[in-house]
């Protein structure tokens, strides 16, 4: 068990660990299809963040393990249509609002930044013309992750 | 003029610091998410932050980095300006936080006593500039030498830092120095 999650229930730890996958599914799947470019980008961001952050390193060594497989397996449990799927994903991500305040503040802030960065980079990773206008209207609706309350500013 | 002792000058800052450490300890021990009571700009629930936010801190480093200047600057204020100190402290606490509630970036939670620290530092630096007597100018120079870095803190930088609180504190400090120096 990660030290940061000691105060959390098992179901809350599970939510924290699958949050990057949920964000990836939400943003990448907003336009109806999740392509491998988007999944690869999510893995790339996760690895980069893990390397650059002392605080998130341990978290990511667990969360990014078999990322694509976990995503594909998890995806099977959700409705096929983007609209119905996203409704559930938004609800699940909003549940982080009850969990995050009980996680140590530096971790909480970095975790939140990571999810935002993940959403932005996944959305920009495919579509558009030569990379321009890559974020479509549906993806733009979700990249702000408005369902998750931002951590406090000090 | 009423003379203050060093101890009596530190009573108000000590009380605030005591409450800061008490709430931080309760939050850490019981796991209560008290940070949710910070200032959330322009929301009704976020109004409670005007009273609560200076008492809430994100981690122990944040708490220590506000404790030391709050004790020092608060004591300097009450020691050298005992007549003005309650007004300045009241403004530093409530006006600063009200400005944050009114103008800070939306969908964010602002916590910490740094707004008060900035207000006190800017007051002590600028009061001497506006009042221009020897003692006040010495205080200006000493506080500037120790806390001159506050001028950088009012600029946007780290997205996790509430520079709005710093800027609001600076404005309240300068405004108070200007108005109170004219009345003194």
Interface test with A, best of B32, B59, B164 (most A CBs within 10 A): B59
Q: Under DSSP, is residue A21 helix (H, G, I), strand (E, B) or coil?
A: helix
Distances (CA, A) of B108 to B27, B65, B97, B104, B157: 20, 21, 14, 8, 16
| Tens digits of residue pLDDT in B13-60 | 999 999 999 999 998 888 777 888 999 999 999 999 999 999 999 888
B162 and A113 within 8 Å at the Cβ level: the answer is no
- Mean predicted lDDT score pLDDT of chain A: 80
- Distance of CA B81 to CAs A33, B75, B138, Å? 67, 10, 13
Q: Which residues of A touch B159 (CB under 8 A)?
A: 113
Q: What is the pLDDT of residue A1?
A: 62
Q: Determine the distance in angstroms separating the CA of B126 from the nearest CA of chain A, rounded to an integer.
A: 25
Shortest distance between the Cα of B144 and any Cα of chain A, in A, equals: 23
| Closest-approach residue (CA) in chain B for A150 | B108
User: Alpha helices, DSSP H only, in chain A?
Assistant: 10-28, 36-52, 54-63, 67-75, 82-94, 96-99, 105-124, 137-142
Radius of gyration of chain A (CA): 15
How far apart are alpha carbons B76 and B6 in whole angstroms? Answer: 9
Q: Which helix (H) or strand (E) holds B18?
A: helix B11-30
CB A145 within 8 A of CB A116: yes
Q: Which helix (H) or strand (E) holds B64?
A: helix B60-80
Contact A153 B57 (CB under 8 A): no
Q: Residue B108 is nearest to which of A101, A146, A150, comparing CB atoms?
A: A150
Residue A139, pLDDT > 80, answer: no
**In this complex, do A154 and B108 lie within 8 Å of one another by their Cβ atoms?**
no
pLDDT grade for A127, boundaries at 50, 70 and 90: low
Question: A146 to chain B: which residues are within 8 Å by CB?
Answer: 107
* Structure-model confidence comparison of residues B12 and A51, the more confident one: B12
Q: Exposed, middle or buried: residue A99 (CB in 10 Å: 0-12, 13-18, 19+)?
A: buried
Tell me the pairing of strands A152-153 and B109-110: parallel
Interface membership of B166 toward A (CB under 8 Å): no
* Contact between chains at A101 and B33 (C-beta distance less than 8 A): yes
pTM score: 0.74
- Sign, CA torsion A112/A114/A118/A121: positive
Q: What is the pLDDT of residue A134?
A: 55
* Spatial separation of the C-alpha atoms in residues B51 and B39, rounded to whole Å: 9
pLDDT of residue A60: 76
Q: Which two tokens stand for residue A32?
A: 């109806």
ipTM for the complex shown:
0.71
pLDDT tens-place string over residues B81-95: 999 999 999 999 999
Q: Smallest Cα–Cα separation from B58: which of B29, B30, B33?
A: B33
DSSP characters over A39-53: HHHHHHHHHHHHHH-
């Amino acid at each position: 068990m990660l030290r940061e999650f000691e105060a959390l229930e098992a179901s809350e730890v599970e939510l924290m660990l699958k949050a990057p996958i949920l964000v990836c599914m939400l943003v990448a799947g907003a336009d109806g299809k999740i392509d491998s470019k988007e999944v690869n980008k999510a893995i790339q961001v996760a690895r980069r963040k893990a390397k650059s952050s002392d605080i998130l390193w341990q978290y990511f060594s667990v969360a990014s393990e078999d990322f694509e497989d976990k995503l594909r397996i998890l995806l099977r449990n959700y409705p096929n249509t983007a609209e119905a799927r996203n409704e559930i994903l938004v609800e699940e991500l909003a549940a982080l609002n009850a969990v995050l305040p009980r996680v140590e503040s530096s971790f909480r802030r970095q975790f939140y930044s990571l999810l935002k960065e993940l959403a932005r980079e996944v959305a920009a990773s495919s579509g558009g013309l030569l990379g321009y206008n890559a974020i479509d209207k549906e993806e733009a609706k979700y990249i702000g992750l408005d369902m998750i309350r931002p951590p406090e500013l000090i | 003029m009423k003379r203050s002792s060093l101890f009596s000058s530190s009573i108000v800052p000590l009380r605030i610091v005591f409450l800061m450490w008490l709430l931080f300890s309760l939050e850490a021990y019981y796991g209560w998410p008290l940070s949710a009571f910070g200032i959330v700009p322009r929301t009704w629930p976020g109004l409670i932050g005007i009273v609560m936010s200076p008492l809430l801190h994100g981690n122990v480093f944040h708490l220590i980095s506000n404790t030391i200047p709050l004790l020092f600057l608060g004591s300097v204020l009450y020691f050298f300006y005992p007549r003005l100190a309650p007004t300045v402290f009241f403004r530093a606490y409530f006006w600063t936080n009200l400005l944050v509630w009114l103008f800070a970036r939306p969908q964010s939670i602002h916590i910490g006593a740094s707004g008060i620290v900035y207000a006190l530092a800017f007051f002590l630096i600028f009061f001497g500039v506006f009042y221009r007597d020897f003692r006040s100018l010495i205080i200006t120079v000493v506080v500037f030498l120790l806390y001159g870095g506050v001028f950088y803190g009012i600029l946007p930088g780290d997205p996790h830092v509430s520079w709005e609180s710093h800027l609001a504190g600076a404005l309240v400090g300068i405004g108070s120095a200007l108005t109170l120096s004219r009345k003194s």
